[in-house]
A and B are shown apart, each in its own frame.
Chain A
């Protein structure tokens, strides 16, 4: 992981201080061990700071902090917690979504490798707030070093009395289990994750009921991203005001951004929300070449053109106004040497491969889009193929599907073919028969064999 840039990152940038809320120990040697973490203040809230607070106070604190889910959808965390029914007679589960799979995103793996104790701290605080006895951390199966680091940290926490029975003499008990996934992108969707956790095929469930009411093992369940939960200890210690000191009014706090693509220092950076993209690129060593566009929040977020990127800031509202989204904070700027058609082909292939195969529009649509793109790239494109791609993607865009995978797979297609249409037309023009419509039925013998 030493190949990643970003840490140590400067204390301030463009005259503004850079937060170290989540990345506090990222550049501290052996920061993943309890001894070092404690020197830097880990678990110093363990005691009356937490246990004197009621569950409702704690949830209100998180609501007031304005913390939003950092996994991609950006749902207000405190509100999600407040949906959990009290006294349902069932246990409440906390599930940490560490199935980081959005192409371009590599922040959670760093969190779990460098500072697993902060995640455990967050789990204990969220567990106390929600009355959770059992917490699962669902980790992408490929992330073996991170799983080892987590398991090591969990053992240390048990040995030190931060986990297990009767925490701090309060009678409250919490267990954390690390569950390895099998590396399916769709298992980052919370209900698919729950299915996978229960041992079923990782396919999203029909909603309602939402997990807050009936999730894991049909009990109320809160599913939170790693980074979201890691922000909670800071909010507990510094209060909503302390957290809101960072970021903008509507998008308070800090966010980890994993930047890849055409910048000189690709890596993970923690910056306050609301920073402009151009400032951020400078922080990441500056752009290589001249900017053509930028994927602002992971491969499923609609792409931005260079002009849009120049005006955009890194927060929920600015990107929403550009009809894109902050997503998981995976920023991928690309320069004029890149081919948007090939980029989209790669993205579309990913979504065709990762579609769970459950509901029709996404199952058949993503595969078909992939094959049309292949035809375009291979020089078999026809006039109107960019409109066809847009129309096909639109069929699974407006939540005609069970989960948000459909829209997430459609947005890149729609935005690329709209914003980079000349590139697609150039590919299509390579086909001398571009004007001839495709044959509708195969006449070749054996076509249906």
Chain B
């Protein structure tokens, strides 16, 4: 492409887009691994850690500069650690300085294993330390550093309670200011600040004020060391024992990208945490605390068995009871759900087709769509609202409530509809078949309740509020191995003979021309913007 510029890195010519930050040019096109502590793609440049030092040719020969602050310019000549001993020397010095006041408590540190300091020590440091404890460290975790602020709150030292979610271990902090910049620039609520100067500088909140923002747990992700840790994950798991799958936020129609971190153990395993996954088009690097804590619910109050007429039943018995109820019903309402994937809704539509003119499909939600917060939430709890529209389903719940008397069976899945006061007429339909992952009010009010897999345990697609289709991947941790996804049960009731969610996807594509030609592989972990309706129609 003609708009690329050429820079020279270690004597090699590299083509990069103009005005790229040099660090991105090095990490990307130039394929030179460049360390950073303070630099973060979604925050402003602070340039204070100095570990990304490179040599750049200037009027007086090669001089040090930091790759995160400089922009690639045509003809720029850069020397990195691969060709310059001075760069290696300078970075080793920075590494040594960073470690002067950093404790060697990796064995008990939650960040160990995903710690930038550990990684870059292996990459840039590996020095014989000349800085010994005997001469003295300024351990900010020491008893000397404890003091009482003007509002009578104890500060400084180890395990400082910053607020409801975050704990600070002051002595591990390398003063990179990422957390301060996050609160200033992203959360737009400056609850954190660096106080003091020199090697006494420390991170703190304002006197008497907690750190209690709805996004504050993100500071624990961007903290390059183990200084800021989340209470929910502190001392819970070693990160190298965790595996992860890539999914999205199922509780919000922005669908913030995240990973589900889980560990498999003899008893089946556990989901330990949800971590934000960077997607510049959706949620940058951030997720809300609310989203992050969804993992707790995966093991709580689950509906792992079936229930028929209030009595416990196996899943198979409950499914038979559902089939019986459907076959005997005169008029059936099937309520498509905005809380689950296109595939599961396609299965519900397949069931409606199989039941012929006895069935009528309703859709929508009575939950209001809120206003986006501009970070990682749209505040619309109906995650797949746009997906329902794509399948040609409108907001028809009011219609169902008004005409509830016409029906003698209703099928609900992944939608706690009966918890809503407006749903009283629906709750009086004679046969209420509910497929849900949790023992919700609807499941309790059901005549036939069947437990199914939750969002973290299924593969499928959702369309977010920005018309972007995104993939959920299945985490193998399930409360009971017998649980099946709702689409499998719905497809069986329809007699459709589906074997995987791919069948659901094909059914969804068949119903929506805008999905034509799209595959899971094309969607990928980053999702894809749906083609415009007119264009898609042209293709179809």
Contact = CB atoms under 8 A, between A and B. Distances in A.
B282 to A, nearest CB: 30
B201 A363 contact: yes
Interface in B133-183: 133-136, 138-139, 141-143, 158, 171, 174-175
Given A206-B69, A360-B48, A363-B175, A395 B199 contact: no
Interface string A389-408: 00110111011111000000
Interface stretch (B92-100, B319-327, B333-341, B423-431): B92-100
B175 A400 contact: no
Which residue of A363, A375, A392 has the most chain B CB atoms within 10 A of its CB atom?
A: A363
Interface in B190-220: 194, 196-201
Contacts of B50: 359-361, 400-401
B276 interface: no
A364 B47 contact: no
Nearest to B95: A360
Nearest to A376: B135
Interface stretch (B124-132, B289-297, B366-374, B469-477): B124-132
A448 B103 contact: yes
Interface string A337-373: 0000000000000001111111111011111100110
A381 B175 CA distance: 30
A359 B38 CA distance: 10
A441 interface: yes
Nearest to B99: A364
Interface residues of A, number: 43
Nearest to B129: A440
Contact of B201 (A206, A357, A368, A372): A357
Given A365-B97, A401-B50, A441 B133 contact: yes
Given A206-B69, A372-B135, A441-B133, A367 B199 contact: yes
Contacts of A449: 141-143, 158
Contacts of B64: 398-400
B104 A448 contact: yes
A360 B143 contact: no
Nearest to A375: B135
Consensus secondary structure, chain B interface: loop
A448 B141 contact: yes
A330 to B, nearest CB: 22
Interface in A397-449: 398-402, 438-442, 447-449
A447 B133 contact: yes
Which residue of B98, B131, B174 has the most chain A CB atoms within 10 A of its CB atom?
A: B131
Nearest to B202: A357
A359 B129 contact: no
A388 interface: yes
B101 A364 contact: yes
B5 interface: no
Given A353-B198, A449-B141, A395 B103 contact: no
Given A359-B49, A360-B50, A439 B132 contact: yes
Consensus secondary structure, chain A interface: loop
B198 A371 contact: no
Contacts of B100: 364, 367-368
Contacts of A371: 135-136
Contacts of A440: 129, 132-133
A399 B47 contact: no
Nearest to A443: B133
A401 B66 CA distance: 9
A438 B136 CA distance: 11
Given A448-B103, A449-B141, A361 B97 contact: yes
B536 interface: no
A396 B64 CA distance: 11
Contacts of B141: 448-449
Nearest to B171: A448
Which residue of A375, A395, A400, A442 has the most chain B CB atoms within 10 A of its CB atom?
A: A400
Interface in B280-338: none
Interface in B412-427: none
B319 to A, nearest CB: 59
Given A392-B130, A398-B64, A352 B135 contact: no
Given A355-B198, A357-B201, A365-B97, A395 B90 contact: yes
Contact of B198 (A366, A380, A388, A400): A366
Nearest to A442: B133
B267 interface: no
A355 B199 CA distance: 8
Interface of B: 45-51, 53, 63-64, 69, 90, 93-94, 96-98, 100-101, 103-105, 129-136, 138-139, 141-143, 158, 171, 174-175, 194, 196-201
Interface of A: 184, 201, 206, 352-361, 363-368, 371-372, 374-375, 380, 388, 391-392, 394-396, 398-402, 438-442, 447-449
Given A391-B130, A448-B141, 16 more contacts: A353-B197, A357-B201, A360-B48, A360-B50, A360-B98, A364-B98, A364-B199, A367-B100, A375-B136, A399-B64, A400-B64, A438-B135, A440-B129, A441-B104, A442-B133, A448-B105
